[in-house]
């Protein structure tokens, strides 16, 4: 059985064809600049044969046209991975925000689509794009069941005390103002893998650190999220590539006044000009910061690159401590995503001076663990808390949910 996984953005559409049982990836690609027929292009890779076409121009006026092209590529003798569309059992969609409506993945129905439309205000850029992706699939492959997998769903297990902001309660009741979190599919995958390693789900206390361009930390107890660092939007929590994470909320009106900016402009400053980029003054990419740090004080960016990385380190330590307190213990810390999987320096400084929590890692092993696809135990055998690197695989979760929901519906 093969599943087509679709991740539709406002002007892009990423896709993968996967076998959910084995996790085998057959093909993947991305359509970009959809809506701009002059610039739109596709990059497609047949993974098994390792054949790739890059930036090939095709006029794509909308997501339906892009999906038609994707189907063409998948059926192509040379570049494809299927002989007929019958081999594709169903389509699984990544959906960024499911509001408080969706606490699990759902088979697409008219009612589900209507509820998804109500999530618009929570993710105004993503929701219309997802709907276009879904409608594109309905147009191009009307007989295929479609399943929606929500990034927020795994966080729906939080208790009201974790998700409610101490604002006037009507804001929650009228507008759904509360913590929703993000990256739920990734937290769910790595927490699930960690539970398999621990040999149990009940009684487990895990902190999952998804650290990439966007970063979020979750407290996962008994396999369920107790708290997560992102909030009403993905701006909250720790310092990120270009996002500031948590700040004093009174800074928003302060910056509006001092810098003579509108609310939208301050929002842009906090989302696009802050984080690693804002602090270092030169890059949002952790590789650039690490290079500047490795060069030492003679590098003109050394000091602020170091500060940017140390801010994140400090915040991660605080989250590990706070989440251990709310879970009343800690069995494991998991690092995942671009930085979590590939930045040994950050992992090392986060785990340093954490003996009180029972965290001890093998520094040599940690230092050489990057750019590799395997689960790696980084903690020493005498560490009370297990520390693992678990490469995330959100597409596999989407493919598995899709397969399970479609077979249950048969
Ligand atoms: P996104 O949140 O956009 O999915 P990623 O999870 O890909 O982002 O994380 C991007 C960050 O991870 C960047 O700061 C980058 O430096 C780092 N990163 C990603 N891949 C690597 C790699 N192979 N080696 C070192 N750093 C990497």
Residues 6+ apart with CB under 8 A from 3: 17, 18, 19, 20, 88, 89, 90, 91, 92, 398, 399, 402, 403
State the pLDDT confidence band at 351, using cuts at 50, 70 and 90: very high
State the pLDDT confidence band at 147, using cuts at 50, 70 and 90: very high
The fraction of the chain above a pLDDT of 70, given in percent, is 100
Q: Which of 276, 283, 287 best tests ligand 1's pocket when mutated (most atoms within 8 Å of CB)? A: 287
User: Burial of 68 by CB count in 10 Å (0-12 exposed, 13-18 middle, 19+ buried)?
Assistant: middle
What would the pLDDT profile of 99-122 be if each residue is shown by its tens digit?
999 999 999 999 999 999 999 989
| Predicted local confidence at residue 302, as pLDDT | 98
The fraction of the chain above a pLDDT of 90, given in percent, is 98
Q: Does pLDDT of 197 surpass 90?
A: yes
Domains with residue ranges and CATH for the chain: 2-150 (3.30.420.40), 198-394 (3.30.420.40)
d(CA 323, CA 334): 13
Q: Does pLDDT of 169 surpass 90?
A: yes
| Predicted local confidence at residue 161, as pLDDT | 98
d(CA 212, CA 285): 9
State the pLDDT confidence band at 410, using cuts at 50, 70 and 90: confident
Q: Which of 50, 151, 285, 381 is catalytic?
A: 151
More confident residue, 1 or 337: 337
Residues 6+ apart with CB under 8 A from 322: none
Interval 132-148 mean pLDDT:
96
State the pLDDT confidence band at 10, using cuts at 50, 70 and 90: confident
Interval 243-250 mean pLDDT:
98
d(CA 330, CA 41): 47
Question: From the CB of 285, is ligand 1 less than 6 Å away?
Answer: yes
CA of 369 to the centre of ligand 1 (A): 14
pTM to 2 decimal places:
0.96
State the pLDDT confidence band at 134, using cuts at 50, 70 and 90: very high
State the pLDDT confidence band at 76, using cuts at 50, 70 and 90: very high
Average pLDDT over all residues of the chain: 97
| Predicted local confidence at residue 118, as pLDDT | 95
Question: From the CB of 373, is ligand 1 less than 6 Å away?
Answer: no
């Amino acid at each position: 059985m093969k599943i087509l996984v679709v991740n539709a953005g406002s002007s892009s559409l990423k896709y993968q064809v996967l076998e959910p049982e084995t996790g085998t990836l057959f093909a993947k690609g991305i359509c970009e600049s959809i809506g701009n027929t002059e610039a739109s292009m596709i990059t497609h890779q047949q993974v098994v044969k390792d054949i790739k076409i890059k930036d090939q121009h095709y006029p794509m006026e909308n997501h339906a046209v892009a999906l038609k092209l994707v189907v063409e590529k998948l059926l192509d003798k040379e570049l494809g991975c299927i002989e007929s569309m019958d081999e594709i059992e169903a389509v699984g969609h990544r959906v960024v925000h499911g509001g408080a409506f969706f606490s699990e993945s759902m088979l697409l129905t008219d009612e589900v689509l209507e509820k998804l439309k109500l999530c618009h205000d929570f993710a105004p850029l993503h929701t219309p794009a997802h709907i276009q992706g879904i409608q594109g699939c309905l147009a191009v492959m009307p007989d295929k069941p479609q399943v929606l997998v929500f990034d927020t769903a795994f966080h729906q297990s939080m208790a009201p005390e974790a998700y409610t902001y101490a604002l006037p309660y009507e804001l929650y009741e009228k507008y759904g103002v509360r913590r929703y979190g993000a990256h739920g599919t990734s937290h769910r995958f790595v927490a699930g893998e960690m539970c398999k390693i621990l040999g149990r789900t009940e009684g487990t206390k895990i902190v999952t650190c998804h650290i990439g361009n966007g970063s979020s930390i979750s407290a996962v107890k008994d396999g369920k999220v107790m708290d997560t660092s992102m909030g009403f939007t993905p701006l909250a929590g720790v310092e990120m590539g270009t996002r500031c994470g948590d700040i004093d909320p009174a800074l928003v009106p302060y910056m509006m006044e001092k810098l003579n900016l509108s609310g939208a402009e301050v929002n842009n400053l906090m989302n696009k000009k802050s984080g690693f980029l804002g602090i270092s003054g030169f890059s949002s990419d952790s590789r650039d910061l690490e290079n500047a740090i490795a060069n030492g004080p003679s590098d003109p960016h050394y000091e602020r690159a170091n500060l940017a990385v140390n801010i994140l380190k400090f915040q991660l330590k605080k989250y590990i401590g706070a989440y251990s307190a709310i879970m009343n213990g800690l069995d494991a810390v998991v690092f995942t995503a671009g930085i979590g999987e590939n930045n040994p320096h950050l992992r090392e400084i986060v785990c340093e001076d954490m003996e009180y929590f029972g965290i001890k890692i093998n520094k040599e092993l940690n230092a050489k663990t990057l750019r590799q696809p395997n689960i790696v135990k980084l903690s020493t055998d005498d560490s009370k808390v297990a520390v693992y690197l678990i490469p995330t695989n959100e597409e596999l979760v989407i493919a598995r949910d899709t397969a399970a929901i479609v077979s249950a519906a048969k």
